[in-house]
Structure 1
Amino acid sequence: MLNNIRIVLVETTHSGNIGSAARAMKTMGLSRLYLAAPKCSPDQQALALSAGAEDVVKNARLTENLDQAIADCSLVIGTSARLRHLQNSLIEPRQCAAEALRHAGGGEEVAIIFGRERIGLLNEELMKCRYHLTIPANPDYSSLNLAMAVQLISYELRMAWLQTQQEQDKVMPVSAIGDTGNKPPLYPTAQQLEHFFSHTEQCYRQLGFIQNQGVMPKLRRLYQRARLETNELNILQGMLTAVEKYRIANKDNS
């Protein structure tokens, strides 16, 4: 399950943070590090601070932007300390770990995103996430550096994984009781969701429904909160296409 979870660092400025984050990951059994548009490349300082996690640093995937780093992920979780406007999608580290393991256990790709050292994730980046992770630190002194935050979340993932292993050891193997035939639901990737959001905005603008900048962020939050399954997303895509065809047909007839 842990192999289906990636840690994504966005526009990292200091190479030492890359190495320290890699060390934090490897101590907890995580190995998949993605660097989205990094401001620095993994160098000797990164390798030195990785303290034995050189393989995580050397195997890190570099992408041109965040969209590329999460394109094939069905669950995307963004971290931030400033999330008052996203109350409905807030989760804390323990809940985040449980949710990530649940999806990863079904074979889905999961991304947990950490923002820039100074300003974190931008609002438009947070809107790409289904859940928004906040660490309930001391409000009088909530300063966590990047590697500390990665270590904390990696620890919670490790503990959730260990709990899952213990529970599986107590359960009789499926082969002994027979397969019920019930398959877990499939969820769309971040890339598929972005295509749907783009299609939605285009269609609704043509209809005159969207006339200001505040509508799409609210629709994004609505659909992210609904946790659309792939077949449900396909239905919505089909509805948008049907509306477009109807509109074109009626326009031609007039």
Structure 2
Amino acid sequence: MNPQNQTSADANGAPAAASATQAGSDLDPPSGAPCQGVSAAAPQAAADAALMAPAAFAAVRFVLVETSHPGNVGAVARAMKTMGFGAVPGSLVLVSPREPAVREHPDAIAMASGADDVLAGAVIVDNIEAALAGTAYAVALTARQREFGPPRLLPRDAVAQAGARIAALQATPQGAQAAGAHIAFVFGNERFGLPNEVVDRCSAVTHIPANPAYTSLNLAQAVQLVAYEMRLALLEVRATPLAEIGYAGEPATAEQIEAMFGHLQSGLEAIGFLDPASPKKLMPRLRRLLARSGLEREEVNILRGIAKHMLAATQGQGARAPSKQEK
């Protein structure tokens, strides 16, 4: 891979363990060799451990979309573990990695450098919908400016919002079992970043404000920075009622929101407001609008009720019947 082909600081670069032609840094280890690094242990570690709530750290999910290089996956597992993430299986989710057996790949194991448990616990899924199942808040890492999409936040603001949601949801009677009790950070392919259809399914967008003259970051470096900020946010977070972060009721999950958008699009097509042959930017605009609101489950139900009546009102007028899911 030519260094010029690396995308910006949204999570890029192959590890040196992959090949000599792939961009890395002077700190990358020799090919196939795990980094020895500097231990993160410090006198503060004991105090940190006393403050940490394991359930809060377990609620954070790192999603890698179509990762090309197995070594990057291993390095991400290591980055997660050094910041206290990955203790439960499924904390690392891989969407259609190029190497299906990436968890057993020698480069991945070498770059994990002791974080083999995080690597072994990674879950492989086929699409972003499966990767975000059970989440109520997802942050896409991308430096690319897009005409539409979720609200753009600074990394520290994004992790602060994520931490507040974790604290609020885990303070409910259901605790870690509450619907949408997890949050996710989503990172793209080393060369191409994240496609619009993945970004659109996230709640917010952020990017790492690197040196404008050289913005390229290795994927694991980007994950390390986000994991560090998330760790700090969780160490400082306090139990917060949902009302204090803008929710009057239970937040909607990613699955509920996606089902609502599908239902709403069908309703808009049925009444002729949306032309499926020329949809233009209506649905992306609606996604952006509703992403700013922090949808609750009851609000999703209201919007689906509107869509249901749109479909019902057009029956017998040449419009298609609602699907079983939409009824």
How far off is 1:84 after superposition?
4.3
The answer for the alignment partner of 2:209 in structure 1 is 136
How far off is 1:213 after superposition?
2.5
Give the 4+ runs in structure 1 shifted more than 3 A: 249-252
- Equivalent-residue separation in structure 2 for 1:233 and 1:84 (angstroms): 26
On the 8 A contact 2:266/2:311 being kept in 1, the answer is no
Q: Secondary structure of 1:83's partner?
A: coil
The answer for the alignment partner of 1:10 in structure 2 is 65
- Equivalent-residue separation in structure 2 for 1:248 and 1:5 (angstroms): 44
Larger deviation, residues 97-106 vs 151-160: 97-106
Q: Secondary structure of 2:234's partner?
A: helix
Q: Does 1:248 align with 2:315?
A: yes
TM-score between the two structures when normalised by the length of structure 1: 0.87
The answer for the alignment partner of 1:78 in structure 2 is 140
Tell me the C-alpha RMSD between the 2 structures. 2.2
Q: Unaligned stretches of 5+ in structure 2?
A: 1-55, 171-180, 241-246, 320-327
How far off is 1:85 after superposition?
2.5
Q: Secondary structure of 1:129's partner?
A: coil
The answer for the alignment partner of 1:178 in structure 2 is none
On the 8 A contact 2:150/2:291 being kept in 1, the answer is no
How far off is 1:243 after superposition?
2.5
How far off is 1:248 after superposition?
2.2
Q: Secondary structure of 1:38's partner?
A: coil
How far off is 1:227 after superposition?
1.2
How far off is 1:244 after superposition?
2.1
- Equivalent-residue separation in structure 1 for 2:304 and 2:135 (angstroms): 19
On the 8 A contact 1:77/1:111 being kept in 2, the answer is yes
On the 8 A contact 1:37/1:66 being kept in 2, the answer is no
Q: Does 1:207 align with 2:271?
A: yes
Q: Secondary structure of 1:74's partner?
A: strand
Q: Secondary structure of 2:291's partner?
A: helix
Q: Match of 1:230, as an amino acid?
A: R
On the 8 A contact 1:2/1:104 being kept in 2, the answer is no
How far off is 1:229 after superposition?
0.6
Q: Does 1:39 align with 2:95?
A: no
The structure where helix makes up a greater share of residues is 1
Q: Does 1:218 align with 2:273?
A: no
Instruction: For 1:91-240, list aligned pairs within 5 A.
Output: 91-105=153-167, 106-107=169-170, 108-164=181-237, 185-211=249-275, 212-240=279-307
Q: Does 1:66 align with 2:128?
A: yes
Q: Match of 2:291, as an amino acid?
A: Q
How far off is 1:71 after superposition?
2.1
On the 8 A contact 1:78/1:131 being kept in 2, the answer is yes
How far off is 1:58 after superposition?
0.3
How far off is 1:113 after superposition?
0.3
- Equivalent-residue separation in structure 1 for 2:294 and 2:208 (angstroms): 23
Larger deviation, residues 51-60 vs 243-252: 243-252
How far off is 1:14 after superposition?
0.5
Q: 1:200 to 1:11 in 2, by over 3 A?
A: same
- Equivalent-residue separation in structure 2 for 1:27 and 1:96 (angstroms): 21
On the 8 A contact 2:78/2:112 being kept in 1, the answer is yes
Q: 1:156 to 1:53 in 2, by over 3 A?
A: same
Q: Deviations over 1:148-204 (max 9, x none)?
A: 10000000001111112xx57xx9xxxxxxxxxxx9731111111111111111110
On the 8 A contact 2:63/2:95 being kept in 1, the answer is yes
On the 8 A contact 1:74/1:110 being kept in 2, the answer is yes
Match of 1:55 among 92, 117, 131: 117
Q: 1:46 to 1:184 in 2, by over 3 A?
A: farther
- Equivalent-residue separation in structure 2 for 1:44 and 1:6 (angstroms): 24
How far off is 1:103 after superposition?
1.5
On the 8 A contact 1:11/1:36 being kept in 2, the answer is yes
Q: Secondary structure of 1:91's partner?
A: coil
Q: Secondary structure of 1:226's partner?
A: coil
- Equivalent-residue separation in structure 2 for 1:184 and 1:22 (angstroms): 36
Q: Match of 1:11, as an amino acid?
A: E
Q: Unaligned stretches of 5+ in structure 1?
A: 172-182
Q: Deviations over 1:72-101 (max 9, x none)?
A: 211111110102424860012111111111
Q: Match of 2:163, as an amino acid?
A: L
- Equivalent-residue separation in structure 1 for 2:191 and 2:150 (angstroms): 25
